[in-house]
Structure 1
């Protein structure tokens, strides 16, 4: 077996531009509010920090209300952090603004 490194998965995190950073902070704010965890980092897993399926549904509903984006939960591959949720928001809003 080769000692070569496995290929890295495509990043689901958003870029560094200011619009993306703003979306990450807004989504992280929603997560912090729902979980009542003001100290939670944007890349912290929601379920590792007290999140339940009900709180996750509330977060997704608030994202839909705030951004008009439906989160594709099946595409998260078990990654439930504000950054991964924000990446879907950024991808959805950038694809609709390019049309």
Structure 2
């Protein structure tokens, strides 16, 4: 994305060159990140991709209303996270070079057997009305399990924390064990999230104790434990 003082968020044409003095001007001027994201989101079937060790740019992009419906994927350097990111790109309609993805691995394409359907007839030839109805044995009624008030309190707290996360991160789904940073959060959003949790439940939350396990379940346990 190429940004100039007269054309905020403009697109650099394929093969185009940046004008002389572009980088020097960029160092002295504010970064027009929002303008660039809005331009990208308006280009039809766009997918925002962040390549690097973090996901702070994706988290910032999700705060921009025009880009909340645009798929955003963070490609992390760890192999498991990288493959998950490639899967998210494929699910968003991006064509991938699978030969390059599988390069150096023994993975091969294997045909799977089709589901067999046996050609057997299962229709009843005798009308059911001719047969006397068989006596129906009484079905034992199992006693209802006793509700656990502590579990209900934890589930309710997890749902409220997940609601705060959806609002901050702009994501549609947050699970009890979802990782805040994997969903696109970054350090400043994490601090804002903790502040909202403290206001919602009226209890102090120590950031240092949750940085290694930033999930709604872990935060809920912290809140319930006081």
Query: Normalized against structure 2, the TM-score is what?
Result: 0.33
Task: Give RMSD over aligned pairs.
Answer: 1.7
Superposition map of 1:30-45 within 5 A: 30-45=164-179
For residues 34-89 of structure 1, the C-alpha deviation after alignment (integer angstroms, 9 at most, x for no partner) is 11112121211000110011111111011111101121122226111111111111
Using the alignment, how far apart are the partners of 2:176 and 2:163 within structure 1? Answer: 9
2:221 counterpart residue number? 87
Question: 3-state DSSP class of the match of 2:179?
Answer: coil
Q: Distance in 2 between matches of 1:72 and 1:64?
A: 10
- Pick which of 68-77 and 33-42 moved more: 68-77
Q: Partner residue of 1:3?
A: none
For 1:54, the equivalent position in structure 2 comes to 188
Separation in 2 of the partners of 1:91 and 1:35?
26
- Structure 1 residues without counterparts, runs of 5 or longer: 1-14, 93-99
Q: Which runs of 4+ in 1 moved over 2 A?
A: none
- 2-side partners of 1:61 and 1:73: how far apart? 10
Aligned to 1:66: 200
Equivalent residue pairs, number:
78
1:53 and 1:81 map into 2 onto residues whose CA distance is 14
- Cα distance in 2, alignment partners of residues 23 and 70 from structure 1: 15
In the alignment, structure 2 segments of 5+ residues that lack a partner are 1-148
The TM-score, its normalising length taken from structure 1, stands at: 0.71
More contact order relative to length (CA 8 Å, sep ≥ 6): 1
- How big is the shift at 1:16? 6.0
Larger radius of gyration: 2
Q: Which moved more, 1:24-33 or 1:72-81?
A: 72-81
Rounded to whole Å, the distance in 1 between the matches of 2:208 and 2:173 is: 27
